[in-house]
Chain A
Amino acid sequence: AQSVTQLGSHVSVSEGALVLLRCNYSSSVPPYLFWYVQYPNQGLQLLLKYTSAATLVKGINGFEAEFKKSETSFHLTKPSAHMSDAAEYFCAVSEKNDMRFGAGTRLTVKP
């Protein structure tokens, strides 16, 4: 069964610094991979998704993620953090008809 592991439950960066949120996946078939963001008391918003078309995926709000099959990773990055990026981020993998989420990484952005 597919699964994802998010390394680091909390990440803190300064405004303007690089954001790196780590995600490793396990899947028996080429996976669909997703990053979602969740702001307090809200549902999940799609940031980006990988569906095997290109290994570097660009998403909304300046985020991007790179699919590395050899490392089974799908890390999320943003060159320059903004205060509004503070939220909970979830990596997810989908094989068939269900989506498996990681435990989430809470991103804090310091002024």
Chain B
Amino acid sequence: ETGVTQSPTHLIKTRGQQVTLRCSSQSGHNTVSWYQQALGQGPQFIFQYYREEENGRGNFPPRFSGLQFPNYSSELNVNALELDDSALYLCASGLATDTQYFGPGTRLTVL
């Protein structure tokens, strides 16, 4: 158990819709990162939030956005869903560049 939880576990959306995924970080962690893991691949870094500000971004378009809240929770929002957005979305929390602790993920299917 890492203390990082994610909701929902599974989600099915249709192309063009918008989705919000939620993460509750471990208490005391000041960073939260989001990753996309396509089937059979390693996780790809989407972005990181540090003290509620975006603190780095991977190669993902602006329709991927996020929020971090003072209560250690965070959100990943994806607009205008595409079929290729189907993946496992992982949230990880930690302290700066130290170890990141991952949640169980949300499986998103876009039809």
Contact = CB atoms under 8 A, between A and B. Distances in A.
Interface of A: 32, 34, 36, 41-46, 49, 51, 90, 94-104
Given A90-B42, A103-B41, A98 B103 contact: no
Given A43-B104, A44-B102, A98 B33 contact: yes
A88 B62 CA distance: 30
A43 B48 contact: no
5 contacts: A44-B43, A46-B101, A97-B55, A97-B56, A98-B33
A96 to B, nearest CB: 6
Interface residues of B, number: 30
- Shortest Cβ-Cβ A-B pairs, 5 listed: A101-B42, A97-B56, A43-B102, A44-B102, A98-B45
B83 to A, nearest CB: 21
Contact of B33 (A95, A99, A102): A99
Nearest to B6: A43
Contacts of A90: 42-43
Nearest to A95: B97
A43 B103 contact: yes
B58 interface: yes
Contacts of A104: 40-42
A90 B43 CA distance: 9
Nearest to A49: B99
Nearest to A101: B42
A32 B103 CA distance: 21
Interface string B74-103: 000000000000000010100011111111
B104 A42 contact: yes
B41 A98 contact: no
B105 interface: yes
Given A43-B102, A43-B105, A45-B102, A100 B97 contact: no
